[in-house]
Each structure stands twice: as structure tokens, then as C-alpha cells.
Structure 1
């Protein structure tokens, strides 16, 4: 079904896809807010249940038993109790993390999104093993922890419901993260994704699986307006631990295999 949705997105006009996703476009509406992306179709069924989606990644989980974890979890809880919850695939709070560098996955293979030295038809288990071995030998000199700030404007801006947008805490963190991502891509994963230079850091809380009505979109933005000041007050700077090489079978759980050597 996800493959069909992806193929349709290449040939159908946006207004028709918007109707299929549950929101007929209205005058002045941004069509980007009505089309559910391919990535969501690969990871979740139309009813919001998770699909098999195996792969690898480098992330930092949110620190458990911390103020930032508590306040971000409160946003996830608010999404679950919202009127538009049936239109979301809401993630469990123990999966909350910040992606440092996205890796390869089993369903979306291409020469530009797959390690150069791993056969394109190799199992994802084999891909995980090869990347994991390189990651275990990879070492950096950058100072930990990694530090972010919540980007209030980008988070509240009209968009598909997903989560919280972040930026490096300062210029030094920006340079550190850029250098780390470049080295991981070039020395561990052996490819740079198409969005490597433009990747936006974030904490995913949910995936939107159907379009919102205008009223639901306003409710979503009001929810964010309420919770963002609470998060910022609890954690003006979000400090994360050493990046983790993780493998996953779906979007609910990320198994830590190796910690970054520093």
C-alpha cells in the first residue's frame, strides 16, 4: 500500500492527493500541508499502526528522568488527547531522540542513499553489521555534550504535525555538528544523503497520516504555543549525551549498538 501511495504521488496532481488524505484544499491553503510524504507511507499504515521499517542511524536519545524528557513527553500526551489524534501516528516517549545523521533503511534503497561498499541487494542486517563495525572504530575529538536550542518560530510555523524543531545552541555547536556529520557520512556511511547540507534537527513526536482541517491545524498550533514556553523554561539549552549508533525494526524502538568514541 505504501508503494502504491508513493507511485501515485508522482503522477497525480496535489489537489487530488489532498482529497485522498482527508482535506479538500481550500482557497489560499498551502498544498504542502495537505500531501502526506512518502516517508510517512513507508513507516506507517493509513490507520496509524507501524509498518516494518528496518535500518540504522546515529542519534542521541533524550536523557531519561530529565526536565526536557518530562516536558517533551507532556507534548506527546497532549497530542494523544487532542481532537485530531486519529490523524496521527504518535510515537512512544521512550523513542524520543535527535537524529545526528540518518542512515540506510530496508525500504528506500538507492545508489545515493546506500553505503557505496554494501551491495544494494544485501540484507539490512548485513548493512547494519558493516556500518556498525566502522562506527565502532570511528573516533572524534569534539567536546561532548551536544547542545541544542528549541527553534520556536520553526516549530510553530504552519506545517504537517511532527514534533519540535531544533538548532545548534551556538556557532561553536553548529561547526561541531557540521564537522561530525561530514565525517560520519564520508568515513562511516560512505555516502551523503541528498538533504545532507540542509538537514533540520528535530525531535519527532508523531507522523501526520491524514490532512488536518483548518480548525485542527489551529488547534495543533495552539497546543504548541502552550507547551513551547514550558520546554524552554525547563531546558533553555538541551544537552544530549554521546551519539549512539542504533538499529531499528520500526519507528517505535531504536536499539543502541555502539556509542561514539571520543
Structure 2
């Protein structure tokens, strides 16, 4: 029997069976409302892919966690100088890291509302909907807020100016063969028009500073000192 060729996410963010692995960190996100049409269509797309011959090769994120990342912050397993705050000791616990970002991000005024749109489906290392600002006001609000967070925290990743906004739906667990890639491509192409239509005007709520233990659940950071 040929052993599966696991992706880099196995042993990092997920176990081989697709269950989330401990991968703590903090981030700023906007959750997608369950009442939004995109939430419903994206959930249906996940189910359609899950039922194909390649469905078992993905770890699907729970719809309750659907979100757009506004800005990545600190991650326990990524402590290199490019991705860690200079003012925070590299050996700090994640509880200390959460308190650090809270003290610096909480005083900032986030945008009250962001309007994005779905551009398409990206199905490389992970399966995501690519997003872009739907209007100039959102583009400016994102740029201004991200810049203020970078100054306040000292976190400005190498891709800060080129960061691609997205909504993750699943992570690859196993490298696909050419035939399996064709199955994935076909289902993505079949669903892309419906996803773009549902996400033509994705109104997102105010960004939230959150912590996470894994990729399945994000908890607002509140009241830390």
C-alpha cells in the first residue's frame, strides 16, 4: 500500500485524521454572520466537496469559525524576528503574548464596518475564498487600521503591504495526484459563480482581537491587563 504524502499542515495545524492540532496564537478577525448568504453557500460548498472522492483529503473548518483575517499577530510556533514583536521577549508564554497585544490593540479604534467581495476560489495549500475591498472606504479603513496596529504592536510582517484577504474553508492534508487535482478543480469551478454571487457584497462587523488554541475556534480577548 502506498503511504499518503502528507502536506506541511499535518503535524502543524492538523492531525493526519483532520482533527485540529494545538496551534495557539492571537489575531484580528471579522466573523461572517450565519445569516449572510455567503455563510450558507460556503457551507454547502464544503459539503459538496466533502462528498467527492477527494473530500477525505481535506480538514474542513467549522462554519461557525468562518472569518476574514484583518491582521495576523503572534503565533506560538512562529517566533522568528520577522513575526514576533521586538518589545516582547521571545520566550514569553502565550498568555503574556495575549496580554501584550491586548494592551496595545484595545485602545485603537477599529473600523465599524467593512464591505468586501469574493473574487474567486484559491485551492493551493489551503482552500479559501479570495476577498478584496468592495469600495474605496473599506480599502482605506483596512489600510489605516492595519498600519495603526503595526505601529502599536511593532508587528509588521514581510507581506504587510501585499497581504491577500481571504476566507479559509479547508486545509489540504494529503498531496493530490493529477487526477485528484482535476476533481478538485472541477468542483471549485462549478461552485465559483454561486460563491462570487453570494459574496458580491460581504458586509463584515467590526474587527475583533481574538485568541485561538487551534484553527477551529476563535475567542475574543477581553479585559486582560
Indicate yes or no: 2:12 matched with 1:36. no
- CA offsets 1:165-206 (integer angstroms, 9 cap, x no match): 11111333223212211111111x212112212211111111
The separation in 2 between residues aligned to 1:104 and 1:231, in whole angstroms, is 31
Task: Quote the offset at 1:159 in angstroms.
Answer: 2.7
TM-score (norm 1): 0.77
For the pair 1:213 / 2:183, whether they are aligned, the reply is no
Q: Which residue is equivalent to 1:251?
A: 215
Partner of 2:119: 151
Deviations 1:2-43 (A, max 9, x none): xxxxxxxxxxxxxxxxx9863xxxxxxxxxxxx934x56421
User: Match for residue 186 of structure 1?
Assistant: 151
Please give the alpha-carbon distance, in whole angstroms, between the structure 1 residues aligned to 2:148 and 2:160: 12
Counterpart secondary structure, 2:96:
helix
Superimposed CA distance per residue, residues 65-108 of structure 1 (whole angstroms, 9 cap, x where no aligned partner): 22121111111212222211221111111111000001111111
Report how many residues are paired. Answer: 222
| Structure 2: runs of 5+ lacking an equivalent | none
Question: Are the structure 2 counterparts of residues 110 and 160 from structure 1 closer, same or farther at C-alpha, using a change threshold of 3 Å?
Answer: closer
Confirm whether residue 239 of structure 1 aligns to residue 210 of structure 2: no
Residue 28 of structure 2 is matched in structure 1 by 58
The answer to whether the 8 Å contact 1:40/1:207 transfers is no
Q: TM-score, normalised by structure 2?
A: 0.89
Higher strand share goes to which structure? 2
Give RMSD over aligned pairs: 2.2
Which of the two has greater helix per residue?
Answer: 1
Matches within 5 A, 1:163-174: 163-174=128-139
* Higher relative contact order structure (alpha carbons within 8 Å, sequence separation ≥ 6): 2
Work out whether residues 20 and 214 of structure 2, in 8 Å CA contact, stay in contact via their aligned partners in 1. yes
